[in-house]
Chain A
Amino acid sequence: MGTDKELSLRLLEEIKRLTAGRERPMRLMEVCGTHTVSIFRAGLRQLLPPEVELVSGPGCPVCVTPDGYMDAAIAYAGMGDVIVATFGDMLKVPGSASSLAEAAARGGDVRIVYSPLDALAIAKEHPNKKVVFLAVGFETTAPTAAAAVLAAAQESVENFFLLPAQKLVPPAIRALLADEDARIDGFLLPGHVAVVTGSETFSFLPKEYRLPGVVAGFSPTELLRGIYRLVWQAAAGEAHIENEYKSVVRPEGNPAAQTMMKQVCETCTAEWRGLGEIPSSGLRLRDAYRRFDFSAMRPLDLPPAPPKKSGCRCGEVLRGKISPRECKLFGKACAPEHAAGPCMVSAEGVCAAWHKYGGGVFRYD
């Protein structure tokens, strides 16, 4: 049957054969930061023919989190009775004027956790403090925060809270496709989001937009399998959802995780950096669990985040409109050590990936 390397080489050959002579490159979008990084790490952009263009979409939850959310988190971190618990990639994200790292340097208690359950443990250790977990993430991460809320309710932990900003991927895809200039020919669908939601969630792509979508894993061969299926469908004039990550993605997803998420959260309008407000694209806590929402328990009166004056074009990068190199700040005023925008801050951000792995063949037209 051959090794992974042999399979990858054969897949590349087929991708080249199926796309040879196309007048316009096929634009395939991934909407998962882990995919973005895996594609770069594997050097797939350099291996694929010019007829296949990989475009990164809004796949990094940190990058799409708006300034206003960071401002709120920073304000809470400055309060003496609050401990802010967060995944590490939020630490350096700039808000309007500062970041959580700077808030910590000013004496704020900001702790990096690996799991929402770690934040819950901190709450139990510090009963006289309010522990606020920054609940950022997509469908993969949302059930973990919901489970932590249920655990807190069950154990009557009254000083554990979320600052909710979780988001859903399908409404963002729809928002992207509402733009007539999107020019996307297919989606490489996020494997770990689909672990929770199931592959069926994406069936609106072929049904409503006649676009193919393939759920893909993260190894070079798994990514090439996904790309091959997309190219194959396009060549055959078909549009279906296929699952190339069957080892963990089932059509129905993870029902226990979905149930828990629905029990604790409901959808709401959410603001996405680069995409603006999208109806039903965010999650907030249901009334029965509202007491765990720190923004409801201790509302802030912050001025709205002013528009960025730095010239940062993260918003256009997130929609696949421009490549990071078309931004004047890229690699100069904006680099991982001194990032102007979130796409450069997060290790999974599109700009950070281009900066780290740059120098190869890049073709956004």
Chain B
Amino acid sequence: MCLAVPAKIMDIQDSLATVELRGVTREASLMLLPEAKVGDYVLVHAGFAMQIIEERDMEETEALWAEMNGGPRTVNLETVRQGV
């Protein structure tokens, strides 16, 4: 039910975007993501763009490798500091 797919915004008319994924185009509402712009990759669920996709931080994956190879913990440290 909570399935969502990434797609690229090709065009925006009012609050309706035309999005494309591997050659398939369809419409996605921007009612829930008014800040999205043409060229953004967005996560689409049930006809709505839900979030802008940010490129995964390469440094984070580097840090994960370093940690697994015996280095000090640097992954998600901010959550530990905040105590959540």
Chain A positions near chain B (C-beta within 8 angstroms): 1-2, 7, 10-11, 14, 32-34, 60-62, 87, 89, 114-118, 136-138, 140-141, 143-144, 147, 150-151, 190, 192-193, 195-196, 200, 203, 206-207, 225, 229, 238, 240-244, 246-250, 254, 256-257, 260, 346, 348
Contacts and interface: CB of A to CB of B under 8 A. Distances in A.
A90 to B, nearest CB: 10
B56 A246 contact: yes
B48 A115 contact: yes
A254 B56 contact: no
Range of interface residues on B (Cβ < 8 Å): 35 or more
Nearest to A203: B84
Given A11-B68, A32-B2, A238-B80, A140 B50 contact: yes
B80 A195 contact: no
25 contacts: A1-B58, A34-B1, A34-B2, A115-B29, A115-B47, A115-B48, A136-B1, A137-B46, A140-B2, A141-B1, A143-B48, A144-B45, A147-B29, A195-B50, A195-B51, A246-B54, A246-B56, A246-B60, A247-B53, A247-B56, A248-B43, A248-B54, A257-B32, A257-B33, A260-B31
Given A7-B61, A117-B47, A147-B29, A87 B55 contact: no
Contact of B61 (A1, A114, A200, A254): A1
Nearest to A4: B61
B64 interface: yes
A240 B75 CA distance: 12
Contacts of B3: 34, 192
B52 to A, nearest CB: 8
Contacts of B45: 140-141, 144, 192
A241 B50 CA distance: 22
A195 B4 contact: yes
A62 B84 contact: no
A240 B80 contact: yes
Contacts, number: 130
B11 interface: no
A10 B32 contact: no
B32 A229 contact: no
A141 B65 contact: no
A56 B35 CA distance: 35
B64 A256 contact: no
Contact of A138 (B2, B34, B68, B84): B2
Contacts of B52: 248
A138 B62 contact: no
Given A206-B84, A246-B54, A246-B57, A116 B46 contact: yes
A314 B4 CA distance: 26
B79 interface: yes
Given A62-B1, A190-B2, A144 B65 contact: no
A152 B79 CA distance: 41
A62 B1 CA distance: 8
B76 interface: yes
A250 B76 CA distance: 13
Contact of B32 (A61, A206, A256, A346): A256
B32 A200 contact: no
